[in-house]
Amino acid sequence: MARAIHIIGADAPADMLAQAAILAGANEKIVSIGPAPRKFDRQTVSLRAPMGSASLAGLQLRKITDHAELLHAWSPAAAAAAQWAARGKSILLSLSHLQGLHQADIAISGVFDDLWTLTVPTEAQRRVLITLGLGSKRVFALPPAAEPNSDADRKRNIARGELGLDNGQFLLAAGGEMLHASGHKQACWAHAMARILTDHTRLIFPGSGPARRAIEAFARSTGYDREIFFTAESLSPPDVLAAADAAIFLQRHDCGVGALTAAMACGLPILASDRPEIADCAPHGLAALLSPPGDMRQAADNLLRLARDAKLREKLGREASILASEKFAPDIAKTTLRSIYSTVVSGHS
């Protein structure tokens, strides 16, 4: 088994930070370029990197990589630092999504330049990269690791109590980091359209991100902002998923599937855009109701179906939980990652 050092940085998406925390081995070192991100619950070694300099970070990183065979970077900036420290070691770069990712073009060109190998969360994303010309042995699908919610009933009661809700309201959770085109405005829009025809639908956002203020402003513009909750500072994402009745992901572009698979692991039915990477995880009619990206009428219709049909929610949620246990359990992702490590190191040598 290859010995790895995990490298994170300020540009690492929330999805990738969560994966690094789950998948890094208990005895594997995690290094942060700059201070460790808030809410990252694994012990890290922090490197000083003025102005985010990859070369300065890489020179410091060299001092702690002697016994590693592989450097696993969880963001493009982390991979750039790893390049300075590699000294013949293999570099693996994990991406959460392909569209709109900061420095994604640099990450992909790095594969062509033989600097590192890539992982993406789904086979659909892997096929896109192979179509662009990446060799099939230079890009791997690493499924997201998603853990089921423990003590869900207690968490549900506590979270709903804090929100002032009882079990009569249909609570829809819009997870994921708040980025441009990540579907959070569309969630507000679908909620407002459905809310006209049903009075018990509520919407909750458990995350945050660069686009949060714009999303809050959009929520106010719908007129239903008193029924929309932003809880990044007050409730943990697992507590929100325990409180929710369904999860919504209406992105128009690839924004990652980590939050989607986390919702599936908690047994939530999924309302989402019919994008390839989403359909790969949550097939339409099995674990999810999918609508064409940007089709808000169909998304609102699907929302109404879920809000009104408890049996449908139960069926989709049960299948989502089964799929998550079969495809996204942490042990499965860890086994896949170790296999990737072995392949990358043997191919590099």
> DSSP string covering 35-69, please?
SPPTT--S--EEE--GGG-HHHHHHHHGGG-TT-S
Answer yes or no: is pLDDT of 7 > 60: yes
* % pLDDT > 70, the chain: 97
Query: C-alpha dihedral over 180, 108, 68, 136, to 10 degrees?
Result: 120
Of 258, 256, 224, 229, which Cα lies nearest the Cα of 244?
A: 229
* 204-243: pLDDT as tens digits: 999 999 999 999 999 999 999 999 999 999 999 999 999 9
- Is residue 290 predicted with pLDDT exceeding 60? yes
Residue 284, sorted as left (phi over 0), alpha (psi -120 to 50) or beta, turns out to be beta
What pLDDT does residue 102 have? 52
Structure confidence by residue, pLDDT tens digits, 43-83: 998 888 776 677 888 878 888 877 889 999 999 889 988 99
Q: Token pair of 165, please?
A: 């809700």
**Residue 236 CA to its chain's centroid (Å):** 15
Tokens of 150: 């423990």
What per-residue confidence (pLDDT) applies to 68?
Answer: 87
Does residue 38 have a pLDDT over 70?
Answer: yes
Sheet (strand 70-73) strand order: 45-47, 30-33, 4-9, 70-73, 90-94, 117-120, 139-141
Mean pLDDT confidence for 319-329: 97
Q: How far, in Å, CA of 93 to CA of 142, rounded?
A: 11
Q: What is the DSSP letter of 104?
A: H
Which residues, listed in sequence order, are joined to residue 121 by a DSSP beta bridge?
Answer: none
Contact 184, 215 (CB under 8 A): yes
Q: What is the mean pLDDT of the chain?
A: 92
23: left (phi over 0), alpha (psi -120 to 50) or beta: alpha
Question: In the numeric block, which tokens belong to residue 1?
Answer: 């088994």
DSSP 226: G
Give this prediction's pTM. Answer: 0.93
Look at residue 329 in the predicted model and tell me its pLDDT. Answer: 97
For the cut 90, the answer to whether the pLDDT of residue 103 exceeds it is: no
| Nearest residue to 181 (alpha-carbon basis) of 232, 207, 215 | 215
Amino acid at 36: A
CB-CB contact of 108 with 130 (8 Å): no
Greater confidence (147 vs 49) lies with 147
Question: Residue 180 has what pLDDT?
Answer: 82
**What is the band of 1 on the pLDDT scale with cuts at 50, 70, 90?**
low
Write the pLDDT tens digit of every residue in 150-173.
999 999 999 999 999 999 999 999
Q: Is the pLDDT of residue 315 over 70?
A: yes
Q: What is the pLDDT of residue 49?
A: 73
**Average pLDDT, integer, range 35-39:** 81
For residue 284, the 8-state DSSP code is: B
Q: What are phi and psi of 222, to 5 degrees?
A: -75, -20
Q: Which DSSP symbol is given to 213? A: H
| Domains of the chain as residue ranges with CATH | 4-144+330-348 (3.40.50.2000), 152-327 (3.40.50.2000)
Q: Which helix (H) or strand (E) holds 239?
A: helix 237-243
pLDDT of residue 93: 96
Quick check: 133 pLDDT over 70? yes
Asked if 96 contacts 258 with a C-beta cutoff of 8 angstroms, the reply is yes
